[in-house]
Amino acid sequence: MSRLKLAVVASLAASAVMATSCAGDQSTAKREGDGERITLTVHRPTEESPPDNDILKREIDKALGIDLRLVTTGGTEYETQLSASLAAGDPPDLFSISRPMLRKLASQGLLLDLTEYMDNELTTYTQFVSPETRTRGKIDGRDYALASKSGYFYPAYWIRKDWLDNLGLEVPRTVDELFEVARAFTKDDPDGNGKNDTYGLTGDRGFSAFMPLWGAFGSGGPGNFYLKDGEIVNGYVDPATKDALAFIQKLNKQGVVDPDWVTNEFMTAHERAWQGRAGILYFSWSEMTKPEFVDQYKKANPEAEWIQMAPPSGPAGEGALPRDRGAVTLWAIPRALEKDEAKLQKVFDLINFVSSQEGNRLVMYGLEGRHYTLDGQRVVPTDKLAEEGNYFWLYQLTGRDDEDYLATKFAAQQEYIDFANNQPFIEIYNSLVTPPEDYNAGDASRFIEEQFARFVSGARPLSEYDEFLDTLLNKFGYADYIESAKEQIRAAGIQQ
Amino acid sequence: MVSTREDRVVNAVVYTALVLVGVISVFPLLFVVSASLTPYSEILRNGGYVVIPRSITLDAYQQLLSEPKIPRALMVTTFITVVGTALNMVLSVLMAYPLSRKDLPGRSFFLLAILFTMLFNAGIIPTYLVVKATGLLDTVWAMIIPNAIWVFNVLVLKTFFERLPDEIVDSARIDGAGEFTILLRIILPLSTPVLLTIGLFYAVGHWNEFLQAVLYVRVEELQPLQVVVRELLTRSQSAENIDTALPTVTLQMAAIVIAAIPMIVVYPFIQKHFQKGVMLGSIKG
């Protein structure tokens, strides 16, 4: 029986050897490419990934002489994976991060200081984005990340025009008119089906239903940082927020808002509206007007007609929407790459390429002749663009010129695009702020999430708001957070 | 046995409770399956909730299976499950059997050592460093080897082996059998229930593989099924990706069905052994 023993041991040993050697081969193969082209790994946080037949990758590889690996990881695991690979000394060559992470990694010395390169190797990039955009990637005056261009603003209030017509109502322009319309939508059976199954507004747990309302009372939105009378204020502290809350509580208490908003996820709210359960919704034109979506909701509700609506005006004057122009993608390069000059240059080449006219056009529209044709300087999309171009945005590392892009790709929705982007805005500066070292963001946000929603829904009376604010500012250290935020915003050059 | 009135009442209560629990457990699955078969516009029309589908469409399944992503992920997961479980069982049995022999020198030391690993874990970054150093990063084996032995399962196997009568082992030894023969010819055939049970634990664990894949495998082609399905379920719209269509409920539910059904189908076949197997690992007496 020792032969059996020998056989078993031998086969186990063989498979172990095979496993590790296979592993070794594969990993080296992936690292070095075919020896001639440099492999670049780029990581970004998103659930989508490029398809197998990646046309853009082929073109970029050809143009730059590299083997580009774009890796996407969704959700919360992205930062875990990134931290692990940075700690292990095995980071991607270019990766996207949030501003808090940028500050942390820069202070740990893990990121390459790009300041010297900005006006030399990266001039194509610096010409592509505005100086204001560039400041988004700066920490204490030095460039540690490359910010992408910010785009158009997409969301707006949408309202059921057919319901308004059925009830003989006009599009509401003030908050009081909005309340009346919402009440009518709830009580007066606007879809004429004899059932009491409709609401005025619906939204998700991120307070989307109420986003355009803060501005009518002079608030920039809870938790946001904005300028008021030349001073930087925080939305929770601003007394105007309390005024807005009074109105929003009225909406909720009178039952004109779909009560499920408190638990709705992002898409659920949308579906509710599409089902014909509510008549006012705050959403992007991209979801409301793209033909494939219109098809869906028309099948469920053939008479549905949605139109956009400006943020209503209120006691503080004209309505406005909070807008953070700094909500861009930040790209950082690991410090270790300093030693690999050839690879570092290729990373710069990549950034410059997608910021150049030719490269930007490639990642926006694809291949000339296949995805679009040129009519003089104007880009005319072909059918293939919609069919094959859904993942192109993954390669738009430094952003795109939304004006051209949207006009070209979504010509049919131009009026909706312009409407949404031309609404009155209150500038908010949240993206410039990172919490101070000793601030416990987790506890504070949990407290806020629990309590603030109750104020919004009316479960907690406004008389207790000051108490909530006091606890937040002192017990949870929010006051220190605000002070630090003000300094950071001032340091970035805001506040006249 | 005479069934008293009290017995009948108790029975009725127990049966009612069990039926209720059964229905509550099955209901979500029923919803998932019917939502995956109902066209999206139907779902919208019915207030987002369809229990018995009125019109059936296989579009979602067709869409998912025609793109290479899901079938490839299915193959990766099947590979990990089959090969991984085989490796797990071989390693776990080879570890459990010697530990079950009371005459093993240094037995308590080894037992303590592996128990230690059950209580204390190295953490994400040290483990990552080890995986990287052994060259397993970005390969299929990163999802099989690092977690190849679950100490809990080894202990269950060990306890079961201990409970087998010593006489059988002794008599085989007298007849001149070597250790491997005893293991293969005597111990294993007697252990079918526990082997199937532990094998199922490992298999389900592999089928649900998620965290290891996300941490160690940054290559699209090797992503297992759960990662791909999760992508479909958590997608939301941002300003940049306005080009892509968000997956509809139908599509998402179809993805869940594809991810869940294979395991659900396998369970009944192992069921009868499973019942016996779980109890058999318990402490004797």
Of A286, A329, A389, the CB nearest to B237: A286
- Domains of chain A (ranges plus CATH)? 32-150+327-397 (3.40.190.10), 155-324+429-491 (3.40.190.10)
Query: For position A17, what pLDDT does the model report?
Result: 53
CA distance A467 to A451: 11
CA distance B252 to A132: 40
Closest CA to A283 of A257, A308, A256: A308
- List the single range of A9-13, A76-80, B202-206, B217-221 with lowest mean pLDDT: A9-13
Of B128, B177, B237, the CB nearest to A84: B128
Of B178, B218, B239, the CB nearest to A71: B218
Asked whether A306 and A161 are in contact (CB, 8 A), the reply is yes
- Among chain A residues, the shortest Cα distance to B216 is held by A81
In chain A, what residues touch B218 (CB-CB under 8 Å)? 41, 43, 71, 73, 81
Q: How many CA atoms lie within 13 A of A384 on its CB side?
A: 11
- Characterize the bridge pairing of strands A378-381 and A142-143: unpaired
- Among chain B residues, the shortest Cα distance to A89 is held by B129
CA distance A262 to A208: 10
A residues 39-98 lying closer than 8 A (beta carbon) to B? 41, 43, 46-50, 52, 71, 73-75, 77, 80-81, 83-85, 87-88, 90
A181 Cβ neighbours under 8 A, 6+ residues apart: A159, A164, A169, A172, A200, A279, A280
A residues 248-267 lying closer than 8 A (beta carbon) to B? 266-267
Which stretches of A129-205 are DSSP H helices?
131-135, 161-167, 175-187
Give the pLDDT band (50/70/90) at residue B277: low
Query: For position B192, what pLDDT does the model report?
Result: 85
In chain A, what residues touch B180 (CB-CB under 8 Å)? 1, 4-5, 8
Strands of the A199-201 sheet, one edge to the other = A199-201, A278-284, A155-160, A306-309
Interface test with A, best of B237, B248, B249, B253 (most A CBs within 10 A): B237
Q: For chains A and B, what is the number of CB pairs under 8 angstroms?
A: 147
**What integer best gives the mean pLDDT of chain B?**
85
Query: For position A402, what pLDDT does the model report?
Result: 86
Name the CA dihedral angle for A450, A452, A458, A462, rounded to a multiple of 10 degrees: 130
Cβ–Cβ gap A80/B239 under 8 Å: no
Name the CA dihedral angle for B194, B199, B200, B204, rounded to a multiple of 10 degrees: 150
Q: What number is the ipTM of this complex?
A: 0.73
Of B135, B243, B245, the CB nearest to A24: B135
Of A47, A81, A297, the CB nearest to B235: A47
A residues 302-331 lying closer than 8 A (beta carbon) to B? 327, 329
Of B125, B241, B248, the CB nearest to A393: B241
pLDDT along chain A (496 residues), means of 10: 59 56 42 66 88 89 92 83 86 91 89 91 89 85 90 91 92 93 91 85 89 92 90 91 92 91 83 86 86 80 89 90 88 92 92 91 89 86 84 90 86 90 91 83 86 89 92 90 89 72
In chain A, what residues touch B184 (CB-CB under 8 Å)? 4
SS3 assignment, position A375: strand
Interface test with A, best of B70, B83, B139 (most A CBs within 10 A): B139
Query: For position A21, what pLDDT does the model report?
Result: 47
Cβ–Cβ gap A71/B220 under 8 Å: yes
Cβ–Cβ gap B246/A287 under 8 Å: yes
In chain B, what residues touch A1 (CB-CB under 8 Å)? 177-178, 180-181
What element of type H or E holds A31?
helix A2-32
CA distance A227 to A495: 7
Cβ–Cβ gap B214/A77 under 8 Å: yes
Interchain contact A449–B (C-beta under 8 A): no
- Among chain A residues, the shortest Cα distance to B131 is held by A88
CA distance B250 to B61: 9
SS3 assignment, position A231: strand
| DSSP annotation of B185 | I
SS3 assignment, position A299: helix
In chain B, what residues touch A56 (CB-CB under 8 Å)? none
- List the single range of A181-185, B42-46, B88-92 with lowest mean pLDDT: B42-46
Token code pair at residue B96: 């459990």
Query: For position A101, what pLDDT does the model report?
Result: 87
Cβ–Cβ gap B243/A74 under 8 Å: no
Query: For position A9, what pLDDT does the model report?
Result: 61
Q: Amino acid identity of A391?
A: Y
In chain A, what residues touch B236 (CB-CB under 8 Å)? 266-267
Residue A201 phi/psi, 5-degree rounding, is: -115, 155
Give the pLDDT band (50/70/90) at residue B285: very low
Cβ–Cβ gap A296/B248 under 8 Å: yes
B17 Cβ neighbours under 8 A, 6+ residues apart: none
Query: For position A23, what pLDDT does the model report?
Result: 42
Cβ–Cβ gap A267/B40 under 8 Å: no
Cβ–Cβ gap B240/A393 under 8 Å: yes
SS3 assignment, position A135: helix
Interchain contact A342–B (C-beta under 8 A): no
